[in-house]
Amino acid sequence: MVDVVKITKRVVDTLESKGSSPAFLWDDALPGFAVKALLSGTKRYVLKYRVGGGRAAKQRWLTLGTHGQLTPDQARALAQQALAAVARGEDPQAEKYKSRNQPTLTDVWNRFRAEHLPQRKPQTRYEYENQWREAIAPKLGRVAIDDVTRSEVDRLHKSMRLTPYRANRILALLSRLMTMAEVWELRPAGSNPCRHVERFKEQPRSRYLCAEELVRLGATMREMVEKGNLSPSAANAVRLLLLTGARLNEILTARWDWVDRDRCVLSLPDSKTGAKPVYLSAGALLVLDDQRSHSADNPYIFPGRSAEGRMINLRKPWVRICKGAGLDGVRLHDLRHTAASIAVGQGASLPIIGRLLGHSQAQTTHRYAHVDADPALIVANAIGDVLVAKISG
């Protein structure tokens, strides 16, 4: 069924598909403009045109919209705009198809995750996955990569102003994804929308536990272990973090076969700054001796729930410890700061402290790579002497 008539709401409402084929109603005033009635009863406004002009040119069908959502006059206006574009040498259907099939930010993330994340350290992979899943994907994941604008990025960044450090890290990841989109030629070079988005000012935290807080911390952990409110392994992990100044992940991933009691070191094959030794004071070795009885045959010093798994984090136990000890605003990483502050108080030089803690600035560590391990071990023991007296009771 093919009819040619002026398309109005009244005639469109009466149009019905008969038999097994859609019915078409062609407009008698605008060439190529029609209504298509589907077997389902849906009616769509369409435009048939030829690219480049002439009967030999390629024929295209452009869907303008659905009757009910568009009036005949609105559909006719869209058809006129499309025909004007055709007259200028453009192809509206091709542009629509291109827009519909353009890669999204999620596509860029999936490629980045497959090609680049495996090269990153486990903690970095975990943080990137978390930042993408919780912050970026819900807001921008479905946006076409070429359509992500600076205003959208700025709006996302400012929505996290209450957590400035996290907001800046998420912005950094998003900027990295945009840079890779340029490398993969999915965006024009130099079009990174994260540029000129002002980062939040980050205030460096310098929280150290004082002598009285250390005493409360030690007493609280002992009491909690005795009452069964804290596992001995969790308490020992906190003690070892304090006594070594090591990073949380370095301690929780440590294995028994990395412990060298003769040299008094825990030899990490990898860390944030590469392979490094964690110096074990006499107090730290005593903690390890106690922990041995709690790890059974597990290869990890701090076992998890499975027979060969490890402890994943200390966040929940640490919250309970801080609440019991009355420690406000203290992070697990502040235990590392506390160890460093005690080392300074013992008169240790900055190079030795950098070596002791595995300083994050590689040039500082490498500059003093010739320093013998003994001075660092001496400082480790000095830290241990101060801390053991306070947290052991």
Amino acid at 378: I
Question: Per-residue pLDDT averaged across 77-95, rounded?
Answer: 84
108 has pLDDT over 60? yes
Q: 162 and 38 share a domain?
A: no
Question: Per-residue pLDDT averaged across 207-236, rounded?
Answer: 92
- Residue 251 neighbours by CB distance under 10 Å: 23
57 has pLDDT over 90? no
180 has pLDDT over 50? yes
pLDDT of residue 370: 37
Q: 278 and 324 share a domain?
A: yes
Q: 179 and 261 share a domain?
A: no
pLDDT digits (tens, 9 = 90+) for 268-282: 887 766 778 888 989
Please give the residue that has the higher pLDDT: either 96 or 337.
337
Quickly state the pLDDT bin for 361 (edges 50, 70, 90).
low
Amino acid at 96: K
Range from 43-47, 101-105, 180-184 carrying the lowest mean pLDDT:
101-105
Q: Are 171 and 153 in contact (CB under 8 A)?
A: yes
Q: 139 and 95 share a domain?
A: no
pTM: 0.54
The rounded Cα 157 to chain-centroid distance in angstroms is: 14
Please give the residue that has the higher pLDDT: either 2 or 191.
191
Where among 78, 100, 122 does a domain terminate? 100
Q: Which tokens is 381 given?
A: 């023991």
Sequence-distant (6+) residues with CB within 8 A of 67 are 12, 35, 42, 43, 44, 45, 75
pLDDT of residue 1: 45
Q: 340 and 222 share a domain?
A: yes
Q: Which percentage of the chain shows pLDDT scores above 70?
A: 87
Please give the residue that has the higher pLDDT: either 276 or 266.
266
pLDDT of residue 99: 57
Structurally, how many domains does the chain consist of? Answer: 3
Please give the residue that has the higher pLDDT: either 54 or 390.
390
373 has pLDDT over 50? no
pLDDT of residue 238: 94
pLDDT of residue 2: 53
Question: Per-residue pLDDT averaged across 250-266, rounded?
Answer: 91
Distances (CA, A) of 322 to 215, 244, 336: 13, 20, 16
pLDDT digits (tens, 9 = 90+) for 120-161: 887 788 899 999 999 999 999 988 888 899 999 999 999 999
310 strand-pairing partners: 303
Q: Are 386 and 346 in contact (CB under 8 A)?
A: yes
In a domain, 194, yes or no: no
pLDDT of residue 158: 95
Question: Per-residue pLDDT averaged across 302-326, rounded?
Answer: 89
Q: 247 and 385 share a domain?
A: yes
162-167, long-range: CB < 8 A, 24+ apart: 164/200, 164/201, 164/202, 165/200, 165/202, 166/131, 166/135, 167/200
Q: 378 and 235 share a domain?
A: yes
Residue of 96, 94, 129 whose CA lies nearest to 110: 129
Please give the residue that has the higher pLDDT: either 29 or 207.
29
pLDDT of residue 129: 95
Angle between helices 232-244 and 373-391 (to 10 degrees): 130
Quickly state the pLDDT bin for 168 (edges 50, 70, 90).
very high
Q: 149 and 266 share a domain?
A: no
Where among 183, 202, 233 does a domain terminate? 183
Residue of 11, 82, 15 whose CA lies nearest to 49: 82
pLDDT of residue 362: 41
In a domain, 189, yes or no: no
369 has pLDDT over 50? no
pLDDT of residue 371: 38
CATH of the domain at 79: 3.30.160.390
Expressed as residue numbers, the domain containing 338 is 211-391
227 has pLDDT over 80? yes
366 has pLDDT over 50? no
Where among 47, 68, 100 does a domain terminate? 100
In a domain, 195, yes or no: no
Sequence-distant (6+) residues with CB within 8 A of 136 are 105, 109, 156, 170, 173, 174
